[in-house]
Amino acid sequence: MAIINLRFGEELKKYGAFDFNACYNCGNCTAVCSLSTEDDSFPREMVRFSVLGLEDDIKSSLKPWLCYYCGECTMHCPRTAYPGELMMSLRRWLTSVYDWTGLSGLLYKSLPLSILAFVLTALGVIIFSVYKKFDLASIMHYGHYFEMFAILTVLGVIFVPNLIRMWWFVILKPKIKVPFKKYVRGLWELIVHMFTQKRALGCDDNQLRWFEHFILVIGYLGLLFTTVVLDWFSSGSLFVTALGYLLSITVFAVTVIFVSERVRKKKELSKFSQPSDWLFVIWLFLMGLSAFVVRVFIDTGILENNIWIYLLHLTILVQWALIIVPFGKWTHFLYRSFAMYFAKIKG
Amino acid sequence: MNKKLGVYICHCGGNISDYVDVEKVRLSVENEEGVFIAKTTMFACGDSNQKEMVEDIKNNHLDGVVVASCSPKLHLLTFRAVTERGELNKYNYIHANIREQASWAHSDDKARATEKAIHIVKAAIAKVRYAESLVPIKIKSIKSVAVIGGGVAGMKAAIELSNLGCQVYIIEREYFVGGRVSQWDALFTTNETGKELVTRLYNDLVKRRNITIYTSTEVISCSGNIGDFKLKIKTTPRYIKEKCNLGELQNAIDACPVEVPDDFNFHITSRKAIYHNFPGEYPQSPVIDIKNCTRCGACEKICENVDFSQKEEITDINVGSVLMATGFDPYTPADGEFGYNSFDNVVTLPQFKRMIDLSDEKLTFKGREIKNIAYIYCVGSRQVEGENKYCSRYCCTSAIHAAINAKKKFRNIYNFHFTRGIRTYGKQEVLYDESSRMGDIYLQSYENDPPVVTGMNDKTVVRINDILTGKREMEVEADLVVLITGMVPRKDNSVGSLFKLPKGRDRFFNEIHMKLRPVETVIDGITISGACQGPKNIMEAVNSALSAATKSYSYVSKGELELEPIIARIDKNLCTWCNACSQACPFDAVKMEEDKTKVFAVINSSVCKGCGMCLPVCPTDAINLIAYSNSEIESMIDALA
């Protein structure tokens, strides 16, 4: 027995979905999807659940994460109901459902609130700098500490509880029995998907995009490692310096492709960008670029007189680490890989 | 019997000659008695052969012609015309089918195909020896048409016939014209209302001198035949004089103490015994419903136009053709069918449509505001158990249109459609699209697992195993349940029996051929149109009305009609009037007659269709079918043996 809940559709529209009510259940979307299988068939079922507002069914489903948005479904939809964009919106909605703080939902639904958060974090950086009397060495020192602190806090306070919530929704609450052995054996799947996103290769004609995305992930993780662990900005090692340059260039160069795709709107997946999508790619770009420039300023010895560039970089970093990573689109990195993990151990 | 006969055997370009040795056929028949010419031809229907045949018939003064070729369905009329051009009466032509019956059917055995073809041609020759010249029966045809039913179909047909110069009588059983359409408000796609549509047609009708409108009038008897139907019609009085002061009348209506359920609003409201359905109705004269009137005289005291002295009138009219446009009734669900009559918030689609029209601002029913509406489709149509196997075809569209209208007119309406698959064919599909984009929910079940309406603590709940959600049981709490009822034939369809119109398995009036003769009936001169023939939407009803008007006109346009002379003939001397033939006749063409010496049967030549049903039942063999007499058939059988 399920009760139809029309309010859910209204709620979902705030996450970007639209026109999915036009669906007449022909199933063309599912038929053309190259990732849908007989056991895990989507997106029609998800469209239907969304129309009827079957929230619990969507919460316990991993299917939104199993879609990598090639856009074939939307192209073939005879009712222009945009099933691909609906799946995207469901991922945003699920992100906010997993998030125990509720901040994800607020930021997804309200652009003014997002802007406010960005302004407040920028103000924080400025106040901190004033407090430190614009002493570059001290600010950079704390900047490095902040990076390490932010990673551990976000992981412990946000990600771990959120992943436990995801586990609760998809495995524990539906009372699916999974033996401990499976949890252990499935770990390899988790690691493989986290670092390769190989499922995305299953989408038609997606090799290039997968490769770009793969390089970006490696570049980003590498840059994170280089700045946090190897302390790129303070390192004198030629190898570390060169690696940092290479990785930061990789990050901003590849994000240029992603941003320009969203601007040109040629592919289905880049046609409907929500603020969260723009912020994610643009901030990633700015991170790579500002880190690169800061290091150039260090190497040319002019950073001392141009402290603003470091403050700018720090602001971007803080906004990234406190807003986009814990509550924004960054989380798909985790949820996608864990979805593959849960799907593996469930099955 | 010394007839000079011409026989032509066709190759049909190989269709026949590839399997039948046509030369052998020719050789086998050329020496048959009376055969003067026997030829083969590549294409008998070809121009050059036709010309050659005409010359042969003329020059040799042939008395009979046989062409052995394809099916008579294809070329009987062709060669009859050839015969006529050869100055020989066309009934002296006999067609032999050696393509469908020999070459095509027996392509595996050429020798026996040829043998069979020879027999068929010999039988045709045997028949042609008996052929006689016949003259088509000519009967007079009165240039007037009776249109039974004054709904959109009837009115539109009447206008069309009037344009063609026919005298038209519209005979409407109700007190007001407009039929079902006058009951609907906004119509798809223009949002023009049904009332506007009726007004427009009525204004056109009354301008025309050659149209007479009878309201509250029924046909009580019919005699005669195509070209000359004699109808007796009975008009019930309105008990109101023609010109009426509307103010006084309203007072009279207010004063009337009688309240009866209002048919016009499908019983969701009541009306007085003196009433009119709505102010702009036609004719614009109210009426006293004498069946329910108590004759208390309250109205009479107020309004001087009330006149109880009016009497029933019987009128005779004489028409050449009758056009039926008697419409449909909405299906009435059985008690308990989806909660009908067991829960007070279960209504039918026509009732719901009237509710939308009659409510302002808020949609309320029995004092309760309505938000959640559940629509249950295919009620009384596509029945698994019941008799109505057909799809009523208009209801999906009509339901969705009503749901959209309700949503647009009132705030906070949520529509839930419990369907068995939506059939908004053609342009109507845009409505389905619009409604789903507006957020209407569509659920679907199989015919053997229909939705269930239950009552729980003052709430009405509709449940369905939704096949679009993997047969999951879904539930909606509904403030109102609308049963999307289909069309059924009129409850009182006695006018059809009066004209002896046959009905189909769906109990609607039946046409001769669904595709090729869609408005003709087996009763010559009577056409059918609109929803009396089967479920139709307004556009389809008007289409068929215009088609029926043209067909009816073709019966009466010339003032006379030519009928096929191949009919039954009774030998008065042999007839003993046992009544068997008249009982066997499906067309009511046999009548008893009497002269000084005896009682005997006679055939009405304008009604007889030459079907032959009367022949085998005659104990004295007094009946012969022209061109199919016993001696002809026997000689053919002999030739085949």
DSSP letter string, A201-259: GGSTT-HHHHHHHHHHHHHHHHHHHHHHTS-GGG---HHHHHHHHHHHHHHHHHHHHHH
DSSP structural state of residue B240: B
Q: How far is B465 from chain A (nearest CA, A)?
A: 9
DSSP structural state of residue B534: S
Tell me how far CA of residue B531 lies from CA of A118, A224, A329, B306, B501, in angstroms. Answer: 68, 76, 60, 36, 15
Say yes or no for a CB contact (<8 Å) between B436 and A22: yes
Residue A54's CB is within 10 A of a number of other CB atoms, namely 22
B564-625 belongs to CATH 3.30.70.3270: yes
Q: How confident is the model at residue B357 (pLDDT cuts 50, 70, 90)?
A: very high
Identity (one letter) of the amino acid at B321?
S
pLDDT in tens, B252-299: 888 999 999 999 999 999 999 999 888 778 888 889 999 999 999 888
Using CB atoms, which residue from A6, A21, A49 is nearest to B436?
Answer: A21
Location of structure tokens 């306070």: A157
Q: CA of A41: which chain B residue's CA is closest?
A: B470
Q: List the one residue out of B397, B399, B378 whose CA is nearest residue B447.
A: B378
CA distance A221 to B451: 55
B430 shares contact with chain A (CB less than 8 Å): no
> What pLDDT does residue B581 have?
94
Q: How far is A276 from chain B (nearest CA, A)?
A: 26
CA distance B179 to B147: 14
Q: Are B214 and B233 in contact (CB under 8 A)?
A: yes
User: Which three-class secondary structure string do you get for B247-268?
Assistant: HHHHHHHHHCCCCEECHHHCCC
> In this predicted structure, which of B172-181, B280-289, B321-330 has the lowest mean pLDDT?
B280-289
Q: Read off the pLDDT of each residue in B591-616 and give the average, rounded to a whole number.
A: 91
> What pLDDT does residue B456 have?
80
> What pLDDT does residue B278 have?
80
pLDDT in tens, A63-99: 999 999 999 999 999 999 999 999 999 999 999 999 9
- Residue A180: alpha-carbon gap to chain centroid: 29
Tell me how far CA of residue B360 lies from CA of A335, B270, B365, in angstroms. Answer: 52, 18, 12
Asked if this assembly's ipTM is beyond 0.95, the reply is no
CA distance B170 to B149: 7
Using CB atoms, which residue from B414, B433, B468 is nearest to A6?
Answer: B414
> What pLDDT does residue B510 have?
96
Say yes or no for a CB contact (<8 Å) between A3 and B475: yes
The residues near B315 (Cβ < 8 Å, ≥ 6 apart) are B214, B217, B232, B233, B235
For A319, how many CA atoms within 13 A lie in the half-sphere containing its CB?
25
Q: Which residues of chain A are at the B interface, by a Cβ-Cβ cutoff of 8 Å?
A: 1-4, 6, 9, 19, 21-25, 45, 48-49, 51-52, 54, 79
CA distance B190 to B401: 12
Query: For residue A347, is pLDDT > 90?
Result: no
CA distance B169 to B319: 9
Angle in degrees, 0-180, between the axes of helices A111-131 and A307-319, rounded to the nearest 10: 140
Q: Read off the pLDDT of each residue in B220-224 and give the average, rounded to a whole number.
A: 92
> Which pair of structure tokens corresponds to residue A3?
């009760």
Q: Are B617 and B105 in contact (CB under 8 A)?
A: no
pLDDT in tens, B104-152: 999 999 999 999 999 999 999 999 999 999 998 899 999 999 999 999 9
Instruction: Show residues of chain B in contact with A1, CB under 8 Å.
Output: 463, 473-475
pLDDT in tens, A206-225: 899 999 999 999 999 999 99
DSSP structural state of residue A171: I
CA distance A338 to B596: 108
Q: End-to-end distance of chain B based on CA atoms, in angstroms?
A: 22
Q: How far is B423 from chain A (nearest CA, A)?
A: 12
Say yes or no for a CB contact (<8 Å) between B470 and A45: yes
Q: CA of A5: which chain B residue's CA is closest?
A: B476
> Which pair of structure tokens corresponds to residue B222?
């019919």
For B347, how many CA atoms within 13 A lie in the half-sphere containing its CB?
23
Q: Read off the pLDDT of each residue in B239-263 and give the average, rounded to a whole number.
A: 84
Say yes or no for a CB contact (<8 Å) between A24 and B470: no
Q: CA of B438: which chain A residue's CA is closest?
A: A21
CA distance A143 to A145: 5
The residues near A161 (Cβ < 8 Å, ≥ 6 apart) are A100
Using CB atoms, which residue from B433, B439, B475 is nearest to A9?
Answer: B439
Give residue limits of the domains in chain B: 5-130, 144-236+312-327+490-556, 246-302, 329-488, 564-625
Instruction: Show residues of chain B in contact with A49, CB under 8 Å.
Output: 469
Q: Are B86 and B53 in contact (CB under 8 A)?
A: yes
Instruction: Show residues of chain A in contact with B441, CB under 8 Å.
Output: 4, 6, 51-52
B431 shares contact with chain A (CB less than 8 Å): no
Q: List the one residue out of B496, B454, B568 whose CA is nearest residue B326.
A: B496
Using CB atoms, which residue from B436, B441, B472 is nearest to A2?
Answer: B472
Q: CA of A52: which chain B residue's CA is closest?
A: B441
pLDDT in tens, A243-268: 999 999 999 999 999 999 999 998 88
- Total CB pairs under 8 A between chain A and B: 49
Say yes or no for a CB contact (<8 Å) between A25 and B468: yes
Query: For residue A37, is pLDDT > 80?
Result: yes
Beta strand spans in A32-148 (E): none
CATH fold, domain B144-236+312-327+490-556, is FAD/NAD(P)-binding domain (3.50.50)
Query: For residue A51, is pLDDT > 70?
Result: yes
Specify the DSSP element, H or E, that contains A96: helix A83-98
Say yes or no for a CB contact (<8 Å) between A2 and B468: no
Tell me how far CA of residue A270 lies from CA of A94, B170, B356, B599, B633, in angstroms. Answer: 20, 65, 44, 95, 83
Instruction: Show residues of chain B in contact with A54, CB under 8 Å.
Output: 469
B8 shares contact with chain A (CB less than 8 Å): no
Q: How confident is the model at residue B245 (pLDDT cuts 50, 70, 90)?
A: low
Instruction: Show residues of chain B in contact with A58, CB under 8 Å.
Output: none
Most B CBs within 10 Å, among A7, A13, A51, A57, to test the B interface: A51
> What pLDDT does residue B247 have?
73
Say yes or no for a CB contact (<8 Å) between B439 and A52: no
Candidates 3.90.79, 3.30.450, 3.30.2450, 3.40.50; CATH matching B5-130: 3.40.50
Instruction: Show residues of chain A in contact with B472, CB under 8 Å.
Output: 2
Q: Do domains B144-236+312-327+490-556 and B564-625 have the same CATH topology?
A: no
DSSP structural state of residue A158: I
Using CB atoms, which residue from A2, A22, A54 is nearest to B433?
Answer: A22
Q: Are B616 and B592 in contact (CB under 8 A)?
A: no
Most A CBs within 10 Å, among B444, B468, B476, to test the A interface: B468
Tell me how far CA of residue B390 lies from CA of A127, B394, B425, B504, in angstroms. Answer: 78, 12, 16, 11
B329-488 belongs to CATH 1.10.10.10: no
pLDDT in tens, B6-33: 999 999 999 999 999 999 999 999 999 9
> In this predicted structure, which of A105-119, B296-310, B533-547, B608-622 has the lowest mean pLDDT?
B296-310
Q: CA of A20: which chain B residue's CA is closest?
A: B437
Using CB atoms, which residue from A3, A22, A49 is nearest to B437?
Answer: A22
Q: How confident is the model at residue B367 (pLDDT cuts 50, 70, 90)?
A: confident
φ, ψ for residue A313 (rounded to 5)?
A: -60, -45
Using CB atoms, which residue from A2, A24, A25 is nearest to B474?
Answer: A2
Say yes or no for a CB contact (<8 Å) between B437 and A21: yes
Q: Are B75 and B81 in contact (CB under 8 A)?
A: no
CA distance B468 to A282: 41
> What pLDDT does residue B558 have?
93
Mean pLDDT of chain B: 93
CA distance B529 to B522: 14
Q: Are B327 and B149 in contact (CB under 8 A)?
A: yes
User: Which three-class secondary structure string do you get for B425-460?
Assistant: CHHHHHHHHHHHHCCCEEEECCCCCCCEEEEECCEE
> What pLDDT does residue B244 have?
65
φ, ψ for residue B116 (rounded to 5)?
A: -65, -40
CA distance B238 to B282: 13
Q: Are A306 and A136 in contact (CB under 8 A)?
A: no
Say yes or no for a CB contact (<8 Å) between A22 and B474: no
CA distance B418 to B147: 39
pLDDT > 70: what percent of chain A? 100
Q: List the one residue out of B120, B201, B228 whose CA is nearest residue B560.
A: B228
Location of structure tokens 């400025």: A126
CA distance A21 to A5: 13
> What pLDDT does residue B242 have?
73
Instruction: Show residues of chain B in contact with A3, CB under 8 Å.
Output: 474-476
Give B 522-561 residues with CB within 8 A of chain A. none
pLDDT in tens, A123-171: 999 999 999 988 999 999 999 999 999 999 999 999 999 999 999 999 9
Q: Sort residue A39 into left (φ over 0), alpha (ψ -120 to 50) or beta.
A: alpha
CA distance A268 to A206: 13
> What pLDDT does residue B246 have?
67
Specify the DSSP element, H or E, that contains A335: helix A332-346
Q: Read off the pLDDT of each residue in B340-346 and give the average, rounded to a whole number.
A: 94
Instruction: Show residues of chain B in contact with A2, CB under 8 Å.
Output: 469, 472-475
Q: List the one residue out of B50, B78, B67 whose CA is nearest residue B5.
A: B67
Beta strand spans in B363-498 (E): 364-365, 368-369, 372-379, 414-419, 441-444, 452-456, 459-466, 472-478, 480-485, 487-489
B366 shares contact with chain A (CB less than 8 Å): no
> What pLDDT does residue B1 have?
55
Buried b (16+ CB within 10 A) or exposed e, B153-168: bbbbbbbbbbebebbb
Say yes or no for a CB contact (<8 Å) between A52 and B474: yes
Query: For residue B316, is pLDDT > 60?
Result: yes
The widest CA-to-CA distance across chain A, in whole angstroms, is: 70
CA distance A80 to A74: 7
Query: For residue B43, is pLDDT > 90?
Result: yes
Tell me how far CA of residue B125 lies from CA of A243, B28, B84, B131, B234, in angstroms. Answer: 107, 12, 19, 10, 56
pLDDT in tens, B60-109: 999 999 999 999 999 999 999 999 999 999 999 999 999 999 999 999 99
> What pLDDT does residue B241 have?
83
